[in-house]
Amino acid sequence: CSEDVLEINPTDQYSIDTFWETEEHANAGLTGCYQVLRSTFGSLFETDMVTPNAWGYNENGGLGPLARGVQLTTDPALAGKWNVSYSGIGRANTFLNNIDDVNMNEDLKKRMIGEAKFLRALYYFQLINYFGDVPLILETPDAELHSDLPRDPKVLVVTQILKDLEEASNVLPIIYEDKDTGRATKGAAISLKSRLLLYEENWPAAAEAAKEVIDLNVYSLFPNYRELFMIENENNEEVIFNVEFLAPRFTNNYDQSIYILNTPAPLKDLVDSYLMIDGLSIQESPLYDSSMPYENRDPRLHQSIACIGYPFNGKITELSDVVNTGFGMKKFTSFSDEISNIVPPNTELNPIVMRYAETLLTYAEAQNEAVGPDQSVYDALNLLRSRTSVNMPEVQSGLSKEEMRELIRLERRIELAFEGLYYSDIRRWRTAEVVNNGPIYNYEGNVITNRTFNKDRDYLWPVPFVQIQENPELTQNPGYN
């Protein structure tokens, strides 16, 4: 009898033996896969601080040193990316391994498998994007089997991601009912595929995938670029996939970081890259007046960046508001220009992981590389420039492929500033060794500090030191030993 009293079961946890039986269990297991998104994409904009777009004052967790080219294998921010991606992968693998035995509606089950595969693909994509080769694991986490697996070639992981996305896009719906807002859609799966193919420089396939998204005919540009990112317009027609936050339980501190701490702080290099309203650069345009440098600029400048002397959060911005560089971010805050909000609460803003504008830019870039600047390339770019609140002149016709490449790269930098993509762009374009090497400037053109970029090392992040410590089968990326 004393044996019975010593048998005590937990009151708020399921044992692995009693789980994976009902549709509720399956739902909860899949939700657990989504939950990781809040960590992986929690600060989407942070990698822009490792580019000429922005500077982070106190980012000593890893991104600050990374921007200066003095990162260590132990820097926690870099390790965090590895760890949290494998959290998502482990959960998706567990779901996919167990879902078959759950007794539930088969159509729903198929859809849920598609969602899990999309998420697994997204997490693996994060890994290969920063670390290159990584261990490819597709089963429920098992210490015996998986602890000492070495890194698999990136190409193998790419193949698996494409397979997952293919299978996901075959079963995922194009849209959901309201109660399922934020779940992975067919469009999300294909968009991620197009991004991966673009990064892999598989130009025709990338263009084809982007075209496939365009042809779904469910996405269109939101008319107002500034408001596209505001809480009241979440999940608008331009959003393909975002991370869902919901106050009070799930919030982020973007307002505090961006507005109070001025981090990331936009750099002069980015501000100077915005064209004039005549479509010319500040060097070329007669409209540019260096005494009023922020006048007559691509409207996206003031829709993305707070400049001294211009309104933001209900006041005229002063140096003390944007002290780090003389510029502040507007994108991803919950503040409008006109109304002052003195309380910086944690916000529930959903960071947008993929949106239609990126699809158009992916199409333009891939199509230009694959076949050259045909009309469809111009159409995609002009569609962006003709967004109601942007209304920039159409792209000058007759550009060479190389000219078009430069134009697309600039358009991409402007349109997608602070959305966590530019760091990947300058690495895949192999321009980081140029643009991330040398001084960075504040609004007055004074050098803040110098950055270095080691082209033999810094295109990939180090495999976190602790991982190699725990699994000596893992090899380190070049230059980090």
Partner 1 sequence: QGSLDMKEVYLSISLKEASLPEVFSEIKSKTDFSFIYDKKVFNKTRAVNIKANGQSLESILVDLAKAHGLRFKQVDDKISVRLVEEKESPPIIIADVTVTGTVVDSEGNPIPGVTVSVPGTSIGTATDLDGKYSLTVPEESTLIYSFIGFESQEREVGDQSIINITLEEDMSSLDEVVVIGFGTQKRVNVTGAISTVDMDQLENAPVTNSSQLLQGVQGVYVNQAGGQPGRDGATIRIRGQGTLNNNNALVLVNGIEFPLSEVNPNDIESISVLKDAASAAIYGSRAANGVILVTTKSGSKDKFQLRYNMYAGFQKVNYLPDVIKDPVQFMELRNQAMINGGRLIVDYPQTMIDEYREGMKTDPYTYPNNDWFDIMFNAAPIQEHNLQFSGGSENLTYSLSLGYLNQEGVMMGSGSDRYSLAFNSTAQISKRLKIGTNINAIYRNIDEPVAGVQNLMGSILKAQAFHPTYLEDGRYANTFVRSTGHNIFRHPIVLATEGENQTTQQRYLINLFAEYELPFDITYKVNIGVNKSDDFNTTFVPDIFIYQNKTDAATRVPFNGDAMSVSQQNRGTRKTYTGNINTTVFNTLNWSHDFNETHHINSLLGISSESFSNNVFWGQNEGFLGNDLYELNAGSSNPAVSSTSASSRLNSYFGRIGYNFKEKYLFEANFRYDGSSRFAKDSRWGLFPSFSAGWRLDRENFLANIPWISDLKLRASWGRLGIERIGLFRYLNLINLGQDYAFGTNISAGAAVTSYNDPNITWETTTISNVGVDAGFFENRVGLEVDIFKKRTTDILRAVNLPSQVGNLNGPIQNIGTVDNTGFELGLNYRNNFNDFNYQINGSVTRIINEVIDLKGQTIYNGRNIITEGQSIDSYYLIHAIGIFQSQEEIDNSPFQTADTKPGYLKYQDTNEDGFITEDDRIISGSVIPEYTYQFSLNLGYKGFEVNAFFQGVANINTYASLIAAQPFWFGTAVTKEWTTDAWTPENTDARLPILTTFESSVNENFRPSDFWLRDASYLRMKNLQIGYNIPSVFTSKYGVSNLKVYLNGQNLLTFSKMKDFDPEKNINGVNFYEYPTVKMYTAGLNVTF
**Closest approach of Cβ 187 to partner 1, in Å?**
17
**Closest approach of Cβ 467 to partner 1, in Å?**
5
Q: Where are the alpha helices (DSSP H) in 41-103?
A: 63-68, 76-98
Query: Could you tell me which of 360, 318, 313 has the C-alpha nearest to residue 339?
Result: 313
Task: Name the region of 33 (left: φ>0; alpha: ψ -120 to 50; beta: rest).
Answer: alpha
Pick between residue 60 and residue 103 the one whose CB is nearest to partner 1. 60
| Residue 55 makes contact with partner 1 by CB under 8 A | no
**Closest approach of Cβ 127 to partner 1, in Å?**
10
Query: Could you tell me which of 371, 478, 414, 424 has the C-alpha nearest to residue 128?
Result: 424
Per-residue binding letters, 71-90, with partner 1 (x by CB under 8 A): xxxxx------xxx-xx-xx
Which residues in the 340-379 window bind partner 1 by CB under 8 A? 342-346
Which residues in the 441-470 window bind partner 1 by CB under 8 A? 442, 446-450, 452, 454, 464-467, 469-470
**Closest approach of Cβ 269 to partner 1, in Å?**
15
Which residues in the 19-38 window bind partner 1 by CB under 8 A? 19, 24-25, 27-29, 31-35, 37-38
Kindly report the three-state secondary structure assignment for every residue of 141-188: CCHHHHCCCCCECHHHHHHHHHHHHHHHHHHCCCCCCHHHCCCCCHHH
**Closest approach of Cβ 291 to partner 1, in Å?**
22
Which residues in the 234-253 window bind partner 1 by CB under 8 A? 235, 244-251
- For residue 141, cis peptide bond before it (omega within 30 degrees of 0): no
Query: Could you tell me which of 388, 381, 386 has the C-alpha nearest to residue 361?
Result: 381
Taking CB under 8 A as the criterion, the residue among 101, 106, 107, 178 binding partner 1 is 178
Which residues in the 395-414 window bind partner 1 by CB under 8 A? none
Burial of 31 from C-beta contacts in 10 A (0-12 / 13-18 / 19+): exposed
Pick between residue 75 and residue 411 the one whose CB is nearest to partner 1. 75
**Closest approach of Cβ 10 to partner 1, in Å?**
5
Element (H, E) at 353: strand 352-355
Which residues in the 284-343 window bind partner 1 by CB under 8 A? 320, 323-324, 342-343
**Closest approach of Cβ 179 to partner 1, in Å?**
5
* d(C-alpha 258, C-alpha 401), whole Å: 38
Count residues near partner 1 (CB under 8 A).
107
Are 354 and 213 in contact by the 8 Å Cβ rule? The answer is no
Which residues in the 216-235 window bind partner 1 by CB under 8 A? 235
Helix 356-371 with 401-415: angle, nearest 10 deg: 170
